[in-house]
Chain A
Amino acid sequence: MIVSLAVFNQRLAAVFDSAEQFALYQVQEQEARFLGLLPIRSRSATDMATQLAQHCVSRVICGAICGCDRRLLTAAGMEVAPWICGTMDEVIEALCTDRLETLAMPGCAGACMQTMDAEEASRPRGQQGAGRKRRLGNRAPCSTPGPSGEE
């Protein structure tokens, strides 16, 4: 699974759409391998979601995120773990040891930490999965950033 951290200056960005780069990791069986840094091409949430989808990101870990940006990422097929803070190393370590909730931003432990999947589950039966079906166009084959962060 490819996990992306929305980062600024070696830490998770305070707000998702003001992040400077996406740090991509391949996470498997509680181990994370750093894939590279992806410079953010555009500040538009739609473009950011498309960029992440192009790199086959399955999970996005970020700081504060507004509801519409979060829904956009979920609609693009990504699971969102929002309201997290800490340095990149702290976040990856917490992720591998399944302790992400310990890095919750102030005022955010609990309800707002729920991933959108959980939110989806709480919807009425007829409406479940409605978000996931709306993808941002056809997904092109995934690309992985090079060692210097170039695509």
Chain B
Amino acid sequence: MSFPGHIPCEAIMQSIADGVFTVDRDWNVTFFNRAAEHITGIPASEALGRKCWEVLRSSLCDGNCALEDCIEHSRTVSGKSIFIVRPDGTRVPVSISAAPLVGADGELIGGVETFRDLTDITLLRKEVEAAYSFEDIIGKSPALTRILAILPQIAQSEATVLITGESGTGKERIARALHNLGTRPEGPFTAVNCGALPETLLESELFGYRAGAFTDARKDKPGRFRLAENGTIFLDEIGDIPHAVQVKLLRVLQERSYEPLGAVAPETTNARIIAATNADLEERVREGGFRQDLFYRLNVARLHLPPLRERTGDIPLLINHFIRRLNTLQNKQIQGVSEDVLAILMRHHFPGNIRELENILEYAFILTGSGFIQLEHLPDSMQPAAPLGTPSSPRSRARASLQADADAPMTMEQAKCRAAHAALRRHNGKRMAACRELGITKDTLRSLLSRCPDTGE
């Protein structure tokens, strides 16, 4: 459909709320509408005839010109987020689109660029982020909001806290928040990963030793409990501690005392104890791998952190948070993620939770120079499957085959079986984790698996 010749084109351009300017083939500004004057703070009379980079003064003008790119490759650029600098020295975030301009005879006559002021959107986004962050914990999902609501009260009490949740859900961050909001924020916060140390080392690490306790113990070494005096000790991976240490830890919790290796008299501790685990401690107790009395001593106040897949609404907030942090750390100015990247991240299962999201963004930061993180900047495992018939690598072939398999006709019962098996595979056969993911009880899973043709019991 052609544009009606009797309608004054300039009047339309002047009425648009977005800034619009055109350039000739020598990059001289040939048109500058009223919105462009308003956003840039430059009157059209001064802009016309000047080079576009002298007028727009954007972060792309020195070497990454969007207009040059679209004119050179005969394509359009749209929705690129950048900033411009106004004459008063303020940076204005704008979203630009650009296209080549072709005359009636088909010959290139220049380019057109439109830009939209994003100041209000940026301010709004900052306000939303500020409203949904608490002690560096980001989120607005109901599950997390409930935890954040009771966090200050729990922090102010002296109760032992047990934080549970899958790996990467931010258990240490919650522990630090409890410490910061508690009655002893000035004291030390000592974190110990109990799963990373063998039994003998863990015991001396937690409780310390006296000189002469064993060969090479030439002088006293204070344990973590001593180092956490007047502060907080965070025992991560508590589900992995061996029985011998469980007994000693129980004594600390009951009597607030312990004996360093080789000591003749007990020492006391006033450190607040916060423990965390990604294991199902009740299950461990039932199996006999974890002392029941210790479990009850630890489980005074319990906080369960939901996995990221159960709080997908927090993903955009977390993405913005990590991008801002990585921009600061790496001195970059990445604006965000593109719409298709966001869609992929929102659909992703995130077995590694927030840590996985952070790692994905850190990887993308390496490949992204400026602007927005695009699909090609994501790790290979996150790339969308290639169209059927064009698999290029073994991984994409496997993905394509799975996709084809999933698209094959099946009954509801077969679909349930497939989902149950896939969840079990993802969790290395752990039924509780698979149940949590599927949102069903253990009995339902057992009954479902018994009906499946390949696992029927």
Query: Chain A: residues with CB nearer than 8 A to chain B?
Result: 8-9, 13-15, 18-20, 42-44, 47, 63-67, 70, 83, 85, 105-108, 112
Number of contact residues on B: which range applies?
20 to 34
Residues on A with C-beta less than 8 A from B41 are 107
How far apart are the CA atoms of A70 and B87 in the complex, in Å?
13
Residues on A with C-beta less than 8 A from B61 are 13-15, 18
Partner of B55 from the list A9, A106, A112 (CB cut-off 8 Å) is A106
Distance in Å: Cβ of A147 to nearest Cβ of chain B: 24
Q: Mark B73-109, 1 if CB is under 8 A from A, else 0.
A: 0000000000001011111000000000000000000
Q: Mark B339-363, 1 if CB is under 8 A from A, else 0.
A: 0000000000000000000000000
Known contacts A15-B61, A20-B63, A66-B90; 6 further A-B pairs (Cβ under 8 A): A9-B63, A14-B54, A18-B63, A67-B90, A105-B87, A106-B42
Inter-subunit contact B90/A105 (CB<8 Å):
no
Inter-subunit contact B54/A66 (CB<8 Å):
no
Q: Mark B312-332, 1 if CB is under 8 A from A, else 0.
A: 000000000000000000011
Distance in Å: Cβ of A102 to nearest Cβ of chain B: 13
Inter-subunit contact B331/A105 (CB<8 Å):
no
Inter-subunit contact B40/A107 (CB<8 Å):
yes
Question: What are 9 of the A-B contact pairs (CB < 8 Å)?
Answer: A9-B63, A14-B61, A14-B62, A15-B59, A47-B331, A67-B88, A67-B90, A105-B55, A106-B42
Inter-subunit contact A107/B43 (CB<8 Å):
yes
How far apart are the CA atoms of A122 and B61 in the complex, in Å?
33
Inter-subunit contact B57/A66 (CB<8 Å):
no
Residues on B with C-beta less than 8 A from A70 are 89
Of the listed residues B40, B50, B61, the one surrounded by the most CB atoms of chain A closer than 10 A to its CB is B61
Q: Known: A15-B59, A44-B331. Is A112-B42 also a contact (CB below 8 A)?
A: no
Distance in Å: Cβ of A38 to nearest Cβ of chain B: 16
Inter-subunit contact A18/B89 (CB<8 Å):
no
Q: Does B53 contact A (CB under 8 A)?
A: yes
Distance in Å: Cβ of B163 to nearest Cβ of chain A: 37
Partner of A42 from the list B53, B85, B331 (CB cut-off 8 Å) is B331
Q: Known: A106-B47, A106-B50, A107-B87. Is A8-B63 also a contact (CB below 8 A)?
A: yes
> Quick one: closest B residue to A18, CB to CB?
B62
Query: Chain B: residues with CB nearer than 8 A to chain A?
Result: 40-43, 46-47, 50-51, 53-59, 61-63, 85, 87-91, 331-333
Inter-subunit contact A20/B62 (CB<8 Å):
yes
How far apart are the CA atoms of A112 and B51 in the complex, in Å?
19
How far apart are the CA atoms of A20 and B85 in the complex, in Å?
18
Inter-subunit contact A85/B54 (CB<8 Å):
yes
Inter-subunit contact B54/A105 (CB<8 Å):
yes
Residues on B with C-beta less than 8 A from A42 are 331
Distance in Å: Cβ of B5 to nearest Cβ of chain A: 33
Partner of A107 from the list B42, B331, B332 (CB cut-off 8 Å) is B42
Partner of B89 from the list A65, A85, A105, A107 (CB cut-off 8 Å) is A65
How far apart are the CA atoms of A72 and B50 in the complex, in Å?
29
Partner of A8 from the list B51, B62, B85 (CB cut-off 8 Å) is B62
> Quick one: closest B residue to A44, CB to CB?
B331
Distance in Å: Cβ of B26 to nearest Cβ of chain A: 14
> Quick one: closest B residue to A84, CB to CB?
B54
> Quick one: closest B residue to A6, CB to CB?
B62
Q: Known: A18-B62, A63-B57. Is A108-B87 also a contact (CB below 8 A)?
A: yes
How far apart are the CA atoms of A63 and B51 in the complex, in Å?
13
Inter-subunit contact A15/B85 (CB<8 Å):
yes
How far apart are the CA atoms of A14 and B47 in the complex, in Å?
14
Inter-subunit contact B90/A14 (CB<8 Å):
no
Inter-subunit contact A107/B63 (CB<8 Å):
no
Of the listed residues B55, B89, B333, the one surrounded by the most CB atoms of chain A closer than 10 A to its CB is B89
Partner of B47 from the list A20, A65, A107 (CB cut-off 8 Å) is A107
Partner of A19 from the list B47, B62, B87, B91 (CB cut-off 8 Å) is B62
Residues on B with C-beta less than 8 A from A43 are 331-333
> Quick one: closest A residue to B55, CB to CB?
A106
How far apart are the CA atoms of A107 and B332 in the complex, in Å?
29
Residues on B with C-beta less than 8 A from A20 are 62-63
